[in-house]
Structure 1
Amino acid sequence: MAITLRAKWEFAAAGQALPRQQAEATFPSMTVVVNGRDDFTLENYRRVSEGGEPVTIGPRAREAMAAARADFLRLLESDRTQFIYGVTSSFGPRVKVTIPPEQQREHARGFEFRGNWARGFGGGYLDERVVRGIIFARLANFVAGNSKARPVIAERFAALLDGPLPPVPLDGEVGAGEVLPLAHVLRDFPRDGIEEGEANPVVNGSPVSAALAADAALRAAPRLDRAERVLALSAAAFGVPADAYAEELGELWGDEDEAAALAALRRHLASASPGRRQAGQVPASFLILGRVLGQAHRAVAGLTEAARVSLRSVTDNPVYVPPDAAHPLGQALSTGGFHNAMAYPALNALAAAWADLTLLIGRHVTALRADDPAAGLGSELSALAEEARAAAMPTLLPAAVNDPQDDVSSPVFGAYRREATAAECLDGALSLLAGEASRVLDAAGRKGPDPA
């Protein structure tokens, strides 16, 4: 039986292949080898998180870690009374407790990666691909020696990818850093033989933020492409004249993202029947497509950049800086690397872009149904638009009340969840618009853009 244009576009808008034409993505059986921070790319992240590939610590990384470990021990032995967080002091709220030199080795061996403080609450769990991504992102701290840890600790961490992977609560983040979700990731991490300075590199830092940003970024570009194709289909169905998306507008507006959005609309509309309406008959929701889609381009690019930077960042607290002329033994610096200030604003911006597009889609359906408004999808699309708008309310830095040490909390989990909700609303709205625009074109016997 022939498949109608409407059916083809409904599948395409949902990001699905046609029946019996859907091919499963396959990844070659390979291994990601990491020798330095430059190996922590979005592509390698995808290979590990989605492709299921293992990670091997390369020889250059093992050499760098071993050398830095020896340097750090020389720094520590030079004065075991100096302040090095988690090594000569206790952790978290007990940071003012000094660990006597003769107890520091035992203190390191006794560190607990799990317990009551690792409980999550509500909200479901992260997808397994994201848990794999967290493990990958954590290894960036190790490979150049900044973690102070021996190569065996990094290798143990990489071995967690062999599974089984533990469930990590989506709403398990209520601290200044990311110790709580990492405690879930570390459920099966072997604790035997931990030495001074090797506990914090495992549980401190902000690899969860890096993984959440990377996961959302990898899904953002395909979603934006689907949105552009479906909105071009809608413009074709309504009969928007070609000059609404003319190339000259990109130059006049002076923004490369808006120019890219206009180019995408022209590309998708190239094979469609020409527009039949005068510019004065076209609602604003069609005319502003280039500008609103341009903002979505900016948001996708912003999140992609935040993910790129975050994946290769060293975020340990404390972080070890190798020796130089001014510091012949190196330095152990207490830092705020456990807080990622790039990820959640970028996720906020993307959620807002998805919400705006969801609203535009509702206006398009109303315009396409102008001759028969009673048969429209107004209530369903209005509900999706309102849910997306609620999800797009910005997630900001939350205060932690009555906690003199961890007096702020990380907002990245909330931002990630809100972006995912807004994205789901957009996906649903795109499917409805694809079906409605295809119906209009089928009924008129007109050609629309190719959904492929």
Structure 2
Amino acid sequence: MTYEMDDPGDVTLDAVRRVAWAGEGIRLSAAALTAIGRRRAEFVAFVEAHAGEHLYGITTKHDVAAKTVLDDAARAEFGRVLPPTPPTTGAPLPERVTRAAVLARLTDVLYGTAPLRPETAERLTGLLDGPLPAVAEGGNGDPGDVIALGRLLRPAFEGILEVGEGMALVNGSPVASAVLAEGVLLATQRIPRLERVLALAAVAAELPDAHVDPALGELWGDPHQAGALATFRELLDGGRWERRAYQAPVSFRSAPRVLGGLRRTLAHAEEAAAISLRSASNNPVYVGPDRRPPLGAVLSNGGYHDPLVAPTLDALTHAWADLAQLVNAQLNRLTDGLAALEPEPRTSLFGMTASGWAEQARAAAQPSLVGLGRSGQTDTSTPDVLAWRRTVDAGAALDVLLALLAVAAVHLISRRGDTVPPALAGLATAVVERYPLDTAPLDVGDALAAVREHLSDEV
């Protein structure tokens, strides 16, 4: 399938899901191409009328070379290429992220703030019809995304551009928008997985009904917490197990509220991602005659620094790390009970592994602050890709902990002879199939990986 785009409002989280995750291509509509061509003509007229002025990356070069206005020949020569960008190396970003970056780059094109020629815009969308260049994840110590965008776009555009197109392609924050969208979409997949595994653990912990009473959701006064509590009740409905006569450990009682807080964090993250994806981020931006008559204006600015991305990803990382500690605590309580029921310590030793993963999640939960750049104009850097790496690492650690908790919960439930609620029966069966109850020789690492993979595939 092909995703057709008319205006910046088409750059959405759903578009990221379709283009970056599902692999759809992009086609610009006829109306969009007409508008792009019209804005390009307006931009060229503006540049011709202001050729003797300092227009960053247009009539001048970029960075420290912005002090000197280029003559006609030098301006044309500079305009043919992408501006030089710093090198880096190392493991690449996932192609889902680079595909999302190409999509997000189109926001400025569709606004007209990145005044490309229509053929250049179509060449940009055409990148999604094949494999993209590898873009290193590390070393992005720039203000904005020039390092990543230079590596991503240079092979397709070097030497074929015209005035102003290089900066329009390589400056801005589309990679930042892409990593935020990736973090949000991963979170939307992880939350149902969390809810189901924590509900299984609640059964294993013999959770009293009072801990999920509907009145609690009303008293907490938060629709996100009330919603998480309602989901918990639905997942637990119909199961037959002995409810303890006294309160469960704190980690089990806290779970619905912590999940409710996570839902709120995700709602904020979805809003931030929507804003980020539809924001013009070029430096400079061209605003047309409709905003600045008679010929428009070129505005050098800080659009490349998206202030929503790193703090939002940090909030998700904090949530994953918090939940990793809670899951670790629950696991330790369940394995205490398993130790007396297992013929050999196949699961009762899970706490050692869990402790390591919980600490990895905790270590990832560090603040991603504006970085110190070099001297001169580029005196700060943006930490967006680093913030994304931290949320990926914390989430991956949590996923392993969830697999450990699912195995421990199902084994404890099975050995007691309890009945799993219908909403969780399929998950419980799948867990036992991959990590059996018997004592036959088992590669426990492979079995745990199979459980983790199933939890991801289930969503």
TM norm structure 2: 0.87
Unaligned runs of 5+ in 1: 1-29
1:112, distance to aligned residue in structure 2 (A): 3.9
1:370, distance to aligned residue in structure 2 (A): 2.7
1:154 maps to which residue? 121
Question: Using a 3 Å threshold, how does the CA distance of structure 1 residues 330 and 279 change in structure 2: closer, same or farther?
Answer: farther
2:21 maps to which residue? 50
Question: Counterpart amino acid of 1:414?
Answer: L
1:379 maps to which residue? 352
Question: Using a 3 Å threshold, how does the CA distance of structure 1 residues 325 and 126 change in structure 2: closer, same or farther?
Answer: closer
2:447 maps to which residue? none
Question: Using a 3 Å threshold, how does the CA distance of structure 1 residues 164 and 221 change in structure 2: closer, same or farther?
Answer: closer
1:211, distance to aligned residue in structure 2 (A): 0.8
Question: Using a 3 Å threshold, how does the CA distance of structure 1 residues 42 and 94 change in structure 2: closer, same or farther?
Answer: same
1:443 matched to 2:415: yes
Question: Using a 3 Å threshold, how does the CA distance of structure 1 residues 145 and 242 change in structure 2: closer, same or farther?
Answer: same
The residue correspondences of 1:195-206 to structure 2 (distance < 5 A) are 195-206=162-173
1:113, distance to aligned residue in structure 2 (A): 5.4
2:157 maps to which residue? 190
For the residues of structure 2 that align with 1:362 and 1:98, how far apart are their CA atoms?
61
The alignment partner of 1:199 has SS state of helix
1:292 maps to which residue? 258
1:423 matched to 2:383: no
1:395 matched to 2:368: yes
Question: Using a 3 Å threshold, how does the CA distance of structure 1 residues 261 and 275 change in structure 2: closer, same or farther?
Answer: farther
Residues 36 and 60 of structure 1 are in contact (CA less than 8 Å); yes or no, is this contact kept in structure 2? no
Question: 213, 221, 229: which is aligned to 1:262?
Answer: 229
Unaligned runs of 5+ in 2: 427-459
The residue correspondences of 1:204-219 to structure 2 (distance < 5 A) are 204-219=171-186
For the residues of structure 2 that align with 1:303 and 1:165, how far apart are their CA atoms?
27
For the residues of structure 1 that align with 2:86 and 2:163, how far apart are their CA atoms?
22
For the residues of structure 2 that align with 1:73 and 1:304, how far apart are their CA atoms?
37
1:118, distance to aligned residue in structure 2 (A): 4.3
For the residues of structure 2 that align with 1:218 and 1:131, how far apart are their CA atoms?
15
2:141 maps to which residue? 174
For the residues of structure 1 that align with 2:172 and 2:139, how far apart are their CA atoms?
16
1:359 matched to 2:332: no
The alignment partner of 1:176 has SS state of coil
RMSD of aligned alpha carbons: 1.8
Question: Counterpart amino acid of 1:321?
Answer: V
Residues 113 and 187 of structure 1 are in contact (CA less than 8 Å); yes or no, is this contact kept in structure 2? no
1:120 maps to which residue? 88
For the residues of structure 1 that align with 2:78 and 2:93, how far apart are their CA atoms?
32
Q: How many residues align?
A: 417
1:27 maps to which residue? none
1:32 matched to 2:6: no
For the residues of structure 1 that align with 2:289 and 2:231, how far apart are their CA atoms?
51
* Larger displacement relative to structure 2 (297-306 or 435-444): 297-306
Structure with higher RCO (Cα < 8 A, 6+ apart): 1
Ranges of 4+ aligned residues in structure 1 off by more than 4 Å: none
1:105 matched to 2:71: no
For the residues of structure 2 that align with 1:267 and 1:338, how far apart are their CA atoms?
45
Identity of aligned residues (%): 38
Deviations 1:138-194 (A, max 9, x none): 111112322122111111111111223111111131111110011111142133442
More helix by share: 2
For the residues of structure 2 that align with 1:96 and 1:395, how far apart are their CA atoms?
32
TM norm structure 1: 0.88
1:5 maps to which residue? none
